[in-house]
A and B are shown apart, each in its own frame.
Chain A
Amino acid sequence: EAQLVESGGGLVQPGGSLRLSCTASAFTFSSSWMHWVRQAPGKGLVWVSRINTDGSSTTYADSVKGRFTVSRDNAKNTLYLRMNSLRAEDTAVYYCATLSTDDYWGQGTLVTVSS
């Protein structure tokens, strides 16, 4: 069964940094565009970022542009999200997902930005 597992969330102070990881199994990760989607507590889904299959093309929501960087290592079947200059409004559960007809989502990892 295809699976995505996120890790790396936690509590970080405003202005701090964090790197999330998302490890894929049981599907062809290297052929899949990948996305990060976040959800603040009690709020809706917000698309954050996407990366193409070989990592040569990335796109970001305006709210994170210049602060977040998405990357991938196809040899390790792993997607990353580097988050810098974190703000309170970045507090959310972060999901990695394929957002394709082969619909795979991770379980989410909680990032809390607070002093």
Chain B
Amino acid sequence: EIVLTQSPGTLSLSPGERATLSCRASQSVSSNYLAWYQQKPGRAPRLLIYGTSSRATGVPDRFTGSGSGTDFTLTIGRLEPEDFAVYYCHHYGVTFGQGTNLEIK
């Protein structure tokens, strides 16, 4: 069973700063099957990144996904106020990470 562990659990930053979110898998996973979702309170999640590094339709280019094997990263280049939310990594159809809460400092 693949387990995805995200770090940090909470990240406190200011608008304009750069955010780096980590997702570590308990065993090597195919890059094709690693995605990142954003969720805001009371809303369904929204796909940001699929296939480790491809941005979903309409996602700004300040969102960048990278990684391979067991280590994956979501980077948000310059935080906008609307970026403060919870982020989940996901191995397709298997499991989600526990989430990183990106909060305003």
Q: Chain A residues in contact with chain B, CB under 8 A?
A: 33, 35, 37, 44-47, 50, 59, 62, 95, 97, 99-101, 103, 105-108
A-B contact pairs, 13 of them (CB 8 A): A37-B45, A44-B88, A45-B45, A47-B96, A50-B93, A99-B92, A99-B93, A101-B56, A103-B46, A103-B47, A105-B45, A105-B46, A108-B44
Top 4 nearest A-B pairs (CB, nearest first) are A103-B47, A105-B44, A45-B96, A44-B99
When distances are taken between beta carbons in the complex, the residues of chain A under 8 Å from B44 are 95, 97, 105-108
Chain B residue at smallest Cβ distance from A95: B44
| Given A62-B1, A107-B44, A108-B44, A45 and B93 contact (CB-CB distance below 8 Å) | no
When distances are taken between beta carbons in the complex, the residues of chain A under 8 Å from B98 are 44
When distances are taken between beta carbons in the complex, the residues of chain B under 8 Å from A62 are 1
| A99→B95 CA distance, assembly (Å) | 11
Chain B residue at smallest Cβ distance from A44: B99
When distances are taken between beta carbons in the complex, the residues of chain A under 8 Å from B95 are 47
When distances are taken between beta carbons in the complex, the residues of chain B under 8 Å from A35 are 93
Establish whether residues B39 and A59, one from each chain, have CB atoms under 8 Å apart when the complex forms: no
Verify if B37 is at the interface (C-beta below 8 Å from A): yes
Establish whether residues B92 and A45, one from each chain, have CB atoms under 8 Å apart when the complex forms: no
Establish whether residues B47 and A45, one from each chain, have CB atoms under 8 Å apart when the complex forms: no
Establish whether residues A101 and B50, one from each chain, have CB atoms under 8 Å apart when the complex forms: yes
